[in-house]
């Protein structure tokens, strides 16, 4: 957990509320300002400061005369920037982590070899993890890397960042392309994500290239749809302004 | 339907195969080259030319010694460009259309007023459509526009383009932001999309601004996940290179 013992009181309260919201359902009522003042032994000004950023970020929805509620939609990550799960969760003020980590060096499956532009007999490092934020499972993730990066297996994948480990090995994740679709949770995904089987999953496949344009990583992430969203800025497609993706 | 009677033979065959693929399931085998030559009364070169673009686009997956198969994933639309459904389908060589069109002028719901930056008592034009490609339902779509655009109700929304109609009214869709999530099909969505209830839907919400940066359209689209994908190019998030979305 992030050490907040020296942080201002409103930041501590904000983090406590974030953890509560992460475990709540959309539309759940939050305690009133007076109740929060009593609960945290804080002034009304401090409680308001704690709530302000949650409202700004769209995590909390205020209804005049009715109170504050957990917003319908979870915060969104920009899909057009390469941001790791951990960095994104920290940006949202949440503590990222991983569970059920499984690392294997094995032969590439056909699609993996194709996406990483490897030969048929090539080996890959396969990393499966369940990504959590403040202890709540958010995503099931399966990443594969060229076998030459077997040094990744030495990384602390529960607490550490794969992208930081890649940079230490001399490979800088630089750009890429994602494909976004949806799926429903099978028994196994439902179990690890702690959602009912048949729940909606947002599925993101990413191929990330290094600083030389060589494929470095092929990752498939399945996010619990009510805990994660993607966001994209777009502009009008004038002729010649962009090529269709492969 | 697109009139292809004067198109080269290979284009006619390509379109016939596209319609077949749109109705097939991922992994279904396609006829062999010899079978296609017999079926269409065409040379092997013509059949190969017809297949080439389908393979390039990722609609068809070739396996050496085994034949050709309907690819696992549908073609993807770039989420970072503003392309209408109709234009995207035509780019893929498919014939777009709409079904079950319902247009209403009514009071804005709270979220609609918020997204379009309208007052509480404002009216909106609501347009619901089921979008089809080559007769196959792809998306359920609900678009709302400021009530001042009531002229939209005069548009031929079965065959015509809403975006072209907006331009004629003097409002040019220029840029915007989308939020992407997933859902499962309820009975009504399943019926109109011709998928089993509980199927995965890719859900895209878009706010589109006009040439002056004024919100012009708020649209929620639910795509049958096995018939539609989104794709996004991304680059590394260097500090200061981008702001977090609202």
| B116 found inside a domain | yes
pLDDT values of chain B reduced to their tens digit, one per residue, 246 residues? 456 777 788 888 988 888 788 777 778 889 999 999 999 999 998 999 888 878 866 778 887 778 888 877 677 788 888 888 888 888 777 889 999 889 999 999 988 988 898 987 899 999 999 999 988 999 999 999 999 898 887 877 777 788 888 888 899 998 888 999 999 999 999 999 999 999 999 999 999 999 888 999 999 999 999 899 998 888 876 544 333 333
- Pairwise CB contact (< 8 Å): B184 & A176: no
- Pairwise CB contact (< 8 Å): B242 & A78: yes
Comparing CB atoms, the residue among B181, B199, B235 nearest residue A81 is B235
Which chain A residues touch B177 with a CB distance below 8 Å?
A: 231-234
pLDDT, residue B52, reads 83
Could you tell me if B57 and B82 lie in one domain?
A: no
pLDDT, residue A238, reads 55
Chain B segment 191-230 residues within 8 A of A by beta carbon are: 198-203, 206, 225, 228-230
- Using alpha carbons, select from A84, A95, A160 the residue that is nearest to residue A134: A95
pLDDT, residue B2, reads 54
pLDDT, residue B61, reads 80
- Band of the pLDDT at A240, cuts 50, 70, 90? very low
pLDDT, residue B26, reads 76
pLDDT, residue B132, reads 94
| B236 found inside a domain | no
pLDDT, residue A108, reads 93
Which chain B residues touch A174 with a CB distance below 8 Å?
A: 235-236
Query: What is the distance between the alpha carbons of residues A144 and B231, in angstroms, rounded to a whole number?
Result: 20
pLDDT, residue A37, reads 94
Residue A160: count of CB within 10 angstroms of its CB: 12
Query: What is the distance between the alpha carbons of residues A18 and A26, in angstroms, rounded to a whole number?
Result: 13
pLDDT, residue A1, reads 47
Kindly tell me if the per-residue pLDDT of A55 is higher than 90.
no
pLDDT, residue B70, reads 86
Check CB contact of A87 with chain B, cutoff 8 Å.
Answer: yes
Could you tell me if B18 and B61 lie in one domain?
A: yes
Comparing CB atoms, the residue among B173, B178, B225 nearest residue A182 is B225
Q: What range does the domain containing B167 cover?
A: 76-231
Could you tell me if B155 and B219 lie in one domain?
A: yes
Query: What is the distance between the alpha carbons of residues A22 and B102, in angstroms, rounded to a whole number?
Result: 38
Could you tell me if A37 and A134 lie in one domain?
A: no
> What's the whole-number mean pLDDT along residues A215-223?
95
Could you tell me if A136 and A52 lie in one domain?
A: no
Chain B nearest-CA distance from A199, in A, is: 7
| A204 found inside a domain | yes
Nearest chain B residue to A230 by CA distance is B180
**Can you tell me which residue has the tokens 């399945």?**
A222
| B240 found inside a domain | no
- Pairwise CB contact (< 8 Å): A230 & B179: yes
Kindly tell me if the per-residue pLDDT of A239 is higher than 70.
no
Task: Report which DSSP code applies to B244.
Answer: P
Last residue of a domain, one of A70, A89, A111: A70
Chain A nearest-CA distance from B41, in A, is: 31
Could you tell me if A147 and A62 lie in one domain?
A: no
pLDDT, residue A234, reads 83
| B201 found inside a domain | yes
| B44 found inside a domain | yes
Nearest chain B residue to A233 by CA distance is B177
Check CB contact of B23 with chain A, cutoff 8 Å.
Answer: no
Chain B segment 134-163 residues within 8 A of A by beta carbon are: none
- Pairwise CB contact (< 8 Å): A180 & B232: yes
Where residue A64 sits, what CATH number does that domain have?
1.10.10.10
Check CB contact of B245 with chain A, cutoff 8 Å.
Answer: yes
- Using alpha carbons, select from A38, A58, A133, A47 the residue that is nearest to residue A89: A133
Which chain B residues touch A175 with a CB distance below 8 Å?
A: 233-236
Query: What is the distance between the alpha carbons of residues A84 and A208, in angstroms, rounded to a whole number?
Result: 11
Could you tell me if A203 and A221 lie in one domain?
A: yes
Where residue B109 sits, what CATH number does that domain have?
3.40.1410.10
Question: Do the Cβ atoms of B40 and B13 come closer than 8 Å?
Answer: yes
Comparing CB atoms, the residue among A225, A232, A246 nearest residue B79 is A232
- Pairwise CB contact (< 8 Å): A236 & B82: yes
The β-bridge relationship of strands A81-82 and B81-82 is unpaired
- Pairwise CB contact (< 8 Å): A201 & B200: yes
* Bridge partner list, A106: A124
pLDDT, residue B3, reads 66
Last residue of a domain, one of B27, B49, B70: B70
- Using alpha carbons, select from A234, A206, A231, A208 the residue that is nearest to residue A78: A231
pTM (predicted TM-score): 0.73
> What's the whole-number mean pLDDT along residues A151-166?
80
- Using alpha carbons, select from B190, B230, B7 the residue that is nearest to residue A231: B230
Total domains present in chain B: 2
CA-CA-CA-CA torsion sign (B221, B225, B231, B237): positive
| A38 found inside a domain | yes
Could you tell me if A101 and A65 lie in one domain?
A: no
Could you tell me if A200 and A120 lie in one domain?
A: yes
Top residue of B74, B89, B244 to mutate, by most chain A CBs within 10 Å, is: B244
pLDDT, residue B245, reads 37
Top residue of A26, A172, A180 to mutate, by most chain B CBs within 10 Å, is: A180
Could you tell me if B60 and B98 lie in one domain?
A: no
Could you tell me if A90 and A56 lie in one domain?
A: no
pLDDT, residue B129, reads 94
| A109 found inside a domain | yes
Angle among Cα A95, B233, B60 to the nearest 5 degrees reads 115
Last residue of a domain, one of A45, A70, A95: A70
Could you tell me if B64 and B48 lie in one domain?
A: yes
Chain B nearest-CA distance from A225, in A, is: 6
- pLDDT tens string A59-110: 788 877 788 888 776 777 888 888 888 888 887 778 899 998 899 999 999 8
Candidate ranges A53-57, A68-72, A140-144, B231-235; pick with highest mean pLDDT = A140-144
- Pairwise CB contact (< 8 Å): A73 & B181: yes
């Amino acid at each position: 957990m992030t050490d907040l013992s020296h942080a201002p009181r409103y930041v501590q309260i904000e983090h406590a509320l974030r953890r509560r919201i992460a475990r709540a359902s959309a539309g759940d009522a939050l305690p009133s300002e007076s109740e929060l003042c009593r609960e945290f032994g804080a002034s009304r000004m401090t409680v308001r400061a704690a709530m302000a950023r949650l409202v700004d970020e769209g995590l909390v929805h205020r209804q005049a005369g009715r109170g504050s509620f957990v917003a319908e939609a979870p915060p969104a990550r920009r899909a057009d920037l390469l941001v790791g799960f951990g960095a994104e969760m920290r940006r949202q003020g949440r503590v990222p982590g991983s569970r059920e980590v499984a690392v294997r060096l094995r032969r590439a499956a056909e699609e993996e070899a194709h996406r990483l532009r490897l030969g048929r007999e090539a080996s890959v490092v396969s990393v499966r993890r369940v990504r959590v934020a403040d202890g709540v499972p958010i995503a099931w993730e399966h990443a594969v890397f060229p076998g030459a990066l077997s040094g990744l297996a030495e990384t602390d994948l529960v607490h550490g960042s794969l992208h930081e480990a890649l940079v230490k090995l001399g490979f800088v994740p630089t750009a890429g392309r994602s494909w976004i679709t949806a799926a429903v949770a099978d028994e196994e995904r439902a179990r690890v994500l702690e959602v009912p089987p048949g729940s909606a999953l947002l599925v993101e496949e990413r191929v990330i290239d290094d600083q030389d344009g060589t494929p470095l990583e092929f990752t498939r992430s399945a996010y619990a749809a009510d805990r994660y969203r993607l966001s994209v800025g777009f502009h009008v497609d004038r002729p010649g302004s962009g090529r269709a993706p492969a």
